[in-house]
Structure formats: structure tokens, C-alpha cells
Structure 1
Amino acid sequence: MLKAELRKKYMQKRQALSIDEAFLLSEAVFMNFTAYFNPLPGQSVHIFIPIRKFREIDTQPFIDYCLSRGIRVFVPKVDGTRMISVEITEETVFAVNHWGISEPVSDQDAGFSHFDYIITPLLYADNKGNRVGYGKGFYDSLFSSLSGESKKIGINYFNPDELIEDVWEYDIPLDYLVTPTEVLSFLSGGE
């Protein structure tokens, strides 16, 4: 299917989830992530803050888990036409932007070229790691600026059942996909 068709289909599927279903599925994704990756103190995690109205996976358990274990947490913030990465702590002050996304008030870009884990929002990912987001290109831009050791991890409610037909030259695939039922590796050799 084409990205536009997949975007529409999976947005509808996500909106059809009840609040309770979304909560339980988010919890299962979180449990699969921590069991598989087991992030350690001193490592760094770049993670999105969900858009509630789009019923994105709840990442607050990920953030709480990391902060309570000495894992550095960075979140995206849109600054004009680019996305910066802001480090947060338990004391960070947040405000809701015009898209309804909670962001740190700080505009201080961490300027990192490496994160141990980049937990990425998406509407859909296929079984090759290609993803469908909201079409703004922020994460492709972030991915292209990072070192090759950064693990690009998509989290999604749904398994990759359909192929994305219109993958573009500048699309950067995920390394992993975490769903409520499994963790898939797209690295050569299936690490």
C-alpha cells in the first residue's frame, strides 16, 4: 500500500482503540522494550512525548523507568522547521505546543550525534523497517544526523502486515520495531 493509504488506515485503527485497550497495549510495548533492550544507567534514550488526541503509545512509563535508573532522557522539540533534542529531568518544566504536544520549555539543543536508543513515533512500519509517520520528515532528518551505533526503534500497536510501496530514497528505516507481542530486528543477521 502507499504511505497515504497506510497513514489513513492505521490512524483509523488507532482511533478505534478504546482508552483501556490503548493503555494495555502501551504497557505491553513498554514491557517488551525493557525486557529486550534493558537500558543501563549512563545510557541515553531519545523518546517522543505522545500526542494524546492521536492516541499514540503512552511513553511516560518509558520516561519514568529511565529517569529512575540514571538513564539520560532526551525528548524532541520542534524549533521552526527543525527538531531539536532537549535533555529532561524530573524537574523539567513542560508546555503544550500548537500541535497539542507537551514539550520542554527549554530550547537548549543537546547537540548529540549519538543516542543509545531512539524511540520513534509512527503510524505503521512494514517488515523491512520502513515506516509511515505524519509526513513531516523530522525523524529522517534526526536519523541522518546520528552515528551508526544509535538504535532506531519504532513502537507501534500493530504488527507489520503490509508492505510500504512508496519508500523514498531519503527514507531511513528502523533498526527494530517493538509491538505488544514481539520485538522485530531489521538489522542484517537479525541481531
Structure 2
Amino acid sequence: MEKEKNRAIHFEVGNKQEIRKIAKTVLMNLTKESRKLQETQVIRYLSEIPQWKEAKIIALTKSMEIEFSTENIVTLARNQGKQIVVPITFLNRQMRFAYWYPQTEFGKNSFGIEEPIDPIWVNEEEIDLVIVPGLAYSKKRERLGFGGGYYDCFLSQGEYDTVSLAYMEQVYETALWDVEKFDIPVEWLITIEGVIHVNELLEKRKI
């Protein structure tokens, strides 16, 4: 009932700011047990898609407490010999990616996101897969981010394989926010219910 109540509230809201507030509330209300259950299954699905299997360098953001945790993703990647890079933000919605090694030291930026203190930059053309964070998604793979516009700007500057990992409470039949021309959908959207891919006509596919 609680999940249905949250979705009903979302449906009445149309602008991005209000939906972001509610999306954050939904995330904060998720239990640790639900998070762990969903994350375990989603990461299993992630590990089976070809883009993950073939990737050598994976870009992601070090997750904040309310977000889908990237901790186990980093562990899995390193165990498979993959390298992790994380973004550092600059003015005008620009960001660059730096390597995240086990010994890398982090500090929080103005958004509260951890970034490497002494970055070792990656050649961004070598990034094989970008795991894109978000607050809410539609089944058309449309993404509502945190409002900075950094990922949309970065993805518009190159061709990258993209995937978002979400709790099922974050995903809706249609976008409940205004989707603008500069909003870039992800190629893959993965939840505990399965995988939605750009070429699969919105069908959920379990691997």
C-alpha cells in the first residue's frame, strides 16, 4: 500500500523540482533489507549484460547514502580486473573522470559527493561503460537526475554505453516530469524486475 501511495503522489506532480523532492523521500523510506535484496539481484543482472562483460574501464559516481549503492559494484569490477573512474565536477556543467584506486583519497565537493583529492585523469575515450545515477526513471529509460545536468552534458559530448541501476520504487510507466530535448535516456535500465534495453521495445527481460 505504501508503494502505491507514493506512486499516486508522484502522479499528481509535474515539475522536476517537486518530483525530485518526492523521489528523495521515497529513497529515504526504503528499508536496508529491501535495498540489499534489490541491489544483489540488480548487480547480478548487470554482470550478465555484454557491455559489462566486455568493459575494461567503468565510470560511476561514488554513491551517497540514499542512492543505489555502488560499493559492491566497485568490488565486483576490481575482482574481475576492471578499472573504476569517478567524476570531478567543474563550472558550466563540465566534469572529467579520474581513476579510483583502493588507495585513492576522497573529499566532498559542494554537492556532498566524494571526489578524488589528487586526481589521476583517464582518457575519456577509453571509458567502456558509464553507470549513470538518477532519482527516477520511466520505462522508456528516461532519467530524472539530481538537477546539475552534468551527466547529460558529458554524455552529449561523446558516444558511451550507458546503464542505470534502480530500485523498483524509482521506475514509472511514463515520465512524470517534463522530458526536455537535452535529457539523454540511458541504453540499459536494470531493476530487480529485470532489464529494459533500448532495442527491446520496453519489454522487461530477465537474464
- TM-score if structure 1 supplies the norm length? 0.85
Q: Is the counterpart of residue 122 in structure 1 residue 134 in structure 2?
A: yes
Report if aligned partners of 1:129, 1:173 keep a CA contact under 8 Å in 2: yes
- Match in the other structure for 1:154: 164
Report if aligned partners of 1:151, 1:175 keep a CA contact under 8 Å in 2: yes
**1:59-94 deviations in Å (ceiling 9; x for gaps):** 011111111221121111223442211112222222
In the alignment, the residues of structure 1 paired with residue 177 and residue 37 of structure 2 have an alpha-carbon distance, to the nearest angstrom, of 31
Q: Is the counterpart of residue 181 in structure 1 residue 193 in structure 2?
A: yes
Report if aligned partners of 1:86, 1:106 keep a CA contact under 8 Å in 2: no
1:89 is paired with a residue whose SS is coil
Q: Is the counterpart of residue 62 in structure 1 residue 93 in structure 2?
A: no
In the alignment, the residues of structure 1 paired with residue 55 and residue 187 of structure 2 have an alpha-carbon distance, to the nearest angstrom, of 22
Instruction: Assess, with a 3 A threshold, how the Cα gap between structure 1 residues 173 and 80 changes in structure 2: closer, same or farther.
Output: same
Q: Is the counterpart of residue 11 in structure 1 residue 21 in structure 2?
A: no
Instruction: Assess, with a 3 A threshold, how the Cα gap between structure 1 residues 137 and 68 changes in structure 2: closer, same or farther.
Output: same
In the alignment, the residues of structure 1 paired with residue 114 and residue 36 of structure 2 have an alpha-carbon distance, to the nearest angstrom, of 19
- Match in the other structure for 1:73: 84
- Match in the other structure for 1:84: 96
Among candidates 137, 141, 148, match of residue 136 of structure 1: 148
**1:125-169 deviations in Å (ceiling 9; x for gaps):** 11222110111100001101222xx21111111233232451111
Instruction: Assess, with a 3 A threshold, how the Cα gap between structure 1 residues 73 and 132 changes in structure 2: closer, same or farther.
Output: same
In the alignment, the residues of structure 2 paired with residue 45 and residue 118 of structure 1 have an alpha-carbon distance, to the nearest angstrom, of 6
**Number of residue pairs matched by the alignment:** 187
In the alignment, the residues of structure 1 paired with residue 158 and residue 125 of structure 2 have an alpha-carbon distance, to the nearest angstrom, of 4
- Match in the other structure for 1:44: 57
Report if aligned partners of 2:59, 2:86 keep a CA contact under 8 Å in 1: yes
In the alignment, the residues of structure 2 paired with residue 26 and residue 103 of structure 1 have an alpha-carbon distance, to the nearest angstrom, of 23
Instruction: Assess, with a 3 A threshold, how the Cα gap between structure 1 residues 42 and 70 changes in structure 2: closer, same or farther.
Output: farther
In the alignment, the residues of structure 2 paired with residue 115 and residue 187 of structure 1 have an alpha-carbon distance, to the nearest angstrom, of 22
Query: Which amino acid in structure 2 is aligned with residue 177 of structure 1?
Result: L
Q: Which has the higher Rg, Structure 1 or Structure 2? A: 2
Query: Which amino acid in structure 2 is aligned with residue 117 of structure 1?
Result: L
Structure with the higher fraction of residues in helix conformation: 2
Instruction: Assess, with a 3 A threshold, how the Cα gap between structure 1 residues 84 and 167 changes in structure 2: closer, same or farther.
Output: same
In the alignment, the residues of structure 1 paired with residue 95 and residue 199 of structure 2 have an alpha-carbon distance, to the nearest angstrom, of 26
Which deviates the most, 94-103 or 43-52?
A: 94-103
1:28 deviates by 2.3
1:181 deviates by 1.9
Which consecutive unaligned segments of at least 5 residues does structure 1 have?
Answer: none
In the alignment, the residues of structure 2 paired with residue 37 and residue 56 of structure 1 have an alpha-carbon distance, to the nearest angstrom, of 24
What's the Cα RMSD here? Answer: 2.4
In the alignment, the residues of structure 2 paired with residue 151 and residue 177 of structure 1 have an alpha-carbon distance, to the nearest angstrom, of 12
Instruction: Assess, with a 3 A threshold, how the Cα gap between structure 1 residues 109 and 125 changes in structure 2: closer, same or farther.
Output: same
